[in-house]
Structure 1
Amino acid sequence: MRKQFLFIFLALIAANTNEAQTRSTRIGYIDMEYILENVSDYKESKSQLELKATKWKQEIEIKKLEINKLKENLKTEKALLTKELIEERETEIKFLENEMLEYQQKQFGVDGNLMRQKAALAKPIQDQVFTAVQDIAEAKNYDFIFDKSSDLTMLFSAKRFDISDQVIRILNRTEKREQLTKKQLKEQEAKENIENAIDENPAMADRQKALDARKAAREKLVQDRKLEQEAKRKEYEDKRNAIAAEKAAKKNGTVSETTNTTGTAKTDTTAKPATTTPTEPTTTTEPAVNKAEERQKLYEQRKKELEEKKKKILEEREAAKKAKEAETQKTNTTNN
């Protein structure tokens, strides 16, 4: 019984050893400089520090200009100065130069304010990066993770082993989680699971990239169509506004119309010509206060003139008819 138990135990140990030997070693690396440049808090603090550095440089340049001016003055006046005055001025210039160099070293030296403040800015982010790297290593069974930007010399590093983007996503997730509601947290977790699956499966990552590219192309097409529709709508609105403006200009102007009516008498060739006096032209000029009222007035006036003209023509025809009948009757009487 003991021999059987010992045999099983040794077999299990051998199996575990073979599995450990056959399992490939997982290695990854990060680029700390790349990560820092893509963290918003670090970028803002770095911008403020760069403003300080610019101010320090300006102060150094001012000191240099002052020193150069003193040197030029000494060179110009050297022939007129005594030896003691020359030595005094040279000593002053030397003192100012040393003072400027000390200030430059204080601000931009190896242990200067710029380097110390940079390190102070990077320290909190670096701590977060180290924590994120440990989480990734434990979750994905990494054996080694190196820092590409450190003193470690990496002669070659394949991009597929770079986990810097994963670290950046973890840092951004931590920042976003503090501002999300419960519902948004669930949505964010689902999105994170998809991103993790993509990181684990390169083929899935390629498919996701293709889907993202197609989605971006569709969105661009939709955006282009919207812009085209907006341009057409704007063109239509401009035309409509131009027509409305033209109508308004006509409406606000002065309308003058002249109506000339001339009566014409129709007489028979055998009857005496009936003379008629043409009616005087009627001119109506009124300001277009109300276009509808003005049109109504013109219509009534024209209607009245036509009725008068018609009445006059009928009267002339009736007179001609009576004259013809009288002449016919007179002729018949004479013949009898």
Structure 2
Amino acid sequence: MNTKVLFLVACLSTSFLGFSQRGVRIGYVDMEYILENVEEYREASEQLNAKAAKWKQEIELKQSTIEQMKKDLMAEKVLLTDELIAEREEEIQILEKEMLDYQQDRFGPQGDLVLQKQLLIQPIQDQVFNEVQKIGANKRYDFIFDKSADVVMLYSEKRHDISDLVLREIARTRKVSKSNKDKKLKNRLEEFQAEEAEADQEISEALQERQQKAADAKDTKKKAAEEKRAEALRLREERKKAYEERRKKLLEEREAKRKAKLEERKKDQEKEKDSTNQ
């Protein structure tokens, strides 16, 4: 990659000398961005990804079957003859080889996934190349680069991006969707807003829970205070009642003693009177 960059810098430096009088027009295209917006490619890519997921599941199932066979063999090994053990091990090896071959056929460098991706991309890449040639000639560009290629672009001005221009030309023959960049930004904004709403909801629920706990604690405290007050009033009434009863009893006792003294004094007076009369 460094060699490519140095070669590119050398070419540009040489070319700039030739174009120094009129200025150099440079543009670039973002192939990934273009592919994302070609609906034909995106739909086919989604179908291919679904196929790849199915292939992966099949490989995982094969792997699981082999692992189970190995476990079964280990568990039954003491009960089997050497001949049967060898047969089972050979069967496992065959299945392992079949699984690895299948994995290579599907996901290897020359596998179905790579080849089908290339088949999807190649026609669009060819069309992009043709459109870039036309745009370059008509708009008098000196250089047009592919941003997603091996050439490292350390910085690029948006005004040099002609990807949307290429998409408009492609749209003459293929169905092209609206820019996914705005959709992604909108989706990210919606996700952020949803996350914020969820966070607000959690905070609100936590606040409500805290407020409810505080209200419950307040009610409990108030109820305890009321119960304590009621108990104090009850005890006061009981003490008051006991005091009244003791006071009443004391008064009754005093009254009884007073009457007894009066009665005794009366009897003494009567005795004195009788003795005087005699």
TM-score interval, normalised by the smaller of the two chains: 0.5 to 0.7
Match of 1:38 in 2: 37
Q: Does 1:24 align with 2:7?
A: no
> Structure 2 counterpart of 1:43, which letter?
R
1:98-128 C-alpha deviation (Å, 9 max, x unpaired): 1101000001111111111111111111111
Does 2:76 align with 1:77? Answer: yes
Partner of 1:104: 103
Deviation at 1:142, TM superposition (A): 0.6
- Between stretches 98-107 and 131-140, larger displacement belongs to 131-140
TM-score normalised by structure 2 residue count = 0.53
The aligned counterpart of 1:67 is 66
**Gap regions ≥5 residues in structure 1:** 1-17, 177-336
Distance between the aligned counterparts of 2:44 and 2:123, measured in 1?
12
**Which structure 2 segments of 5+ residues have no match?**
1-16, 176-278
Partner of 2:248: none
In the other structure, the counterpart of 1:159 is 158
Alpha-carbon separation, structure 1, partners of 2:173 and 2:112: 30
| Distance apart, 1:48 and its partner CA | 2.0
Residue identity in the other structure for 1:105: Q
- Asked if the contact 2:40–2:174 (Cα under 8 Å) also holds between the matched residues in 1, the reply is no
The verdict on how the C-alpha distance between 1:21 and 1:66 changes in structure 2, with shifts beyond 3 A counting, is: same
CA distance in 2, matches of 1:119, 1:20: 37
1:88 maps to 87
Structure 1 residues 106 and 20, CA gap change in structure 2 (3 angstroms): closer
Map 1:1-336 to 2 at 5 A.
Answer: 20-175=19-174
Letter in 1 for 2:79: L
**Aligned AA (1:69):** Q
The count of residues paired between Structure 1 and Structure 2 equals: 159
Mapped to 2, the partners of 1:175 and 1:63 lie a distance apart of 40
Instruction: Classify the secondary structure of the residue corresponding to 2:171.
Output: helix
For residues 159 and 29 of structure 2, what CA distance do their matches in structure 1 show?
11
Which string of whole-angstrom CA distances, capped at 9 and with x for unpartnered residues, describes residues 235-290 of structure 1? Answer: xxxxxxxxxxxxxxxxxxxxxxxxxxxxxxxxxxxxxxxxxxxxxxxxxxxxxxxx
The letter for the 1-side match of 2:22 is R
- Identity in percent: 58
CA RMSD of the aligned region, Å?
Answer: 2.0
Equivalent residue of 1:22, what SS?
coil
Partner SS for 1:29: strand
Alignment partners' CA distance in 1, 2:154 and 2:92: 49
CA distance in 1, matches of 2:169, 2:101: 43
C-alpha distance in structure 2 between counterparts of 1:71 and 1:143, whole Å: 64
1:11-67 CA distance string (max 9 Å, x none): xxxxxxx99532111111111121111101111211222222222122212211210
Which residue number in structure 1 is paired with residue 200 of structure 2? none
Contact 2:38 2:174 in 1 (8 A): no
Q: CA deviation at 1:77?
A: 1.0
How far is 1:153 from its partner? 2.8
Find the counterpart in structure 1 of residue 203 from structure 2: none
Alpha-carbon shift at residue 170 of structure 1 (Å): 1.8
Report the residue type matching 2:129 in the other structure. F
Aligned match of 1:231: none
SS in structure 1 opposite 2:170?
Answer: helix
TM-score, reference length from structure 1: 0.44
Question: Partner amino acid for 2:170?
Answer: L
Offset at residue 175 of structure 1 (A): 4.1
Q: What secondary structure, in the 3-state scheme, does the structure 1 residue paired with 2:59 have?
A: helix
Q: 1:80 and 1:19, CA in 2 relative to 1: closer, same or farther beyond 3 A?
A: closer
Which residue identity does 2:136 align to in structure 1?
A
Measure, in 1, the Cα distance between the counterparts of 2:19 and 2:101: 59
Report what 1:5 is aligned to.
none
CA positional deviation for 1:156:
3.0
d(CA) in 2 for partners of 1:175, 1:62: 39
Alignment partners' CA distance in 2, 1:25 and 1:19: 9
The Cα of 1:174 is off from its aligned counterpart by 4.0
CA distance in 2, matches of 1:84, 1:29: 67
SS at match of 1:153: coil
